[in-house]
Amino acid sequence: MPRLAAKLEIENRIQEFRQKLALTQQDLANAVDVTRATVVALERGSYNPSLELAFRLAKFFKTDIESLFAVKK
């Protein structure tokens, strides 16, 4: 049986990008079609988004995924 890989710790700059655009968490939530609670969890780092949501966020901030998400060192 394959063993589960060790979990990677991922950090993001969603809050920083959002504040640059002077958006509220609700604005961002509406823009990427999630609930405000999800934006809160993403910014807190307690939830890692799916690849699809990560792309949606990157597209919304007009950046690439690597600028938005990184593996914690």
Partner 1 sequence: MKLLRFAQTYLLAALPFVVGVSFWSDSVPEGKLSPEAPLALRALWEVLSWNLMLWFAVLIVFLVALIMSTAAQETTLRRIANIRDRDEREEFLTGQAARVSYLSTLAAGIFLLFLSAFRFSATSTKVTISMQPDVKSAFVLALLVWQLASFRFAIRKLAAD
Decide: is 38 part of the binding site for partner 1 (CB under 8 A).
Answer: yes
Check binding of 59 to partner 1 (CB under 8 A).
no
53 binds partner 1 (CB under 8 A): yes
Q: Choose the stretch contacting partner 1; rule: CB under 8 A; options: 4-12, 15-23, 29-37, 61-69.
A: 29-37
Nearest to 57 by CA among 35, 38, 31, 37: 31
Q: Is the dihedral of CA 72, 66, 43, 48 positive or negative?
A: negative
Phi, psi of 64 (to 5 degrees): -105, 165
The residues binding partner 1 (CB under 8 A) are 33-35, 37-38, 41, 47, 49-50, 52-53
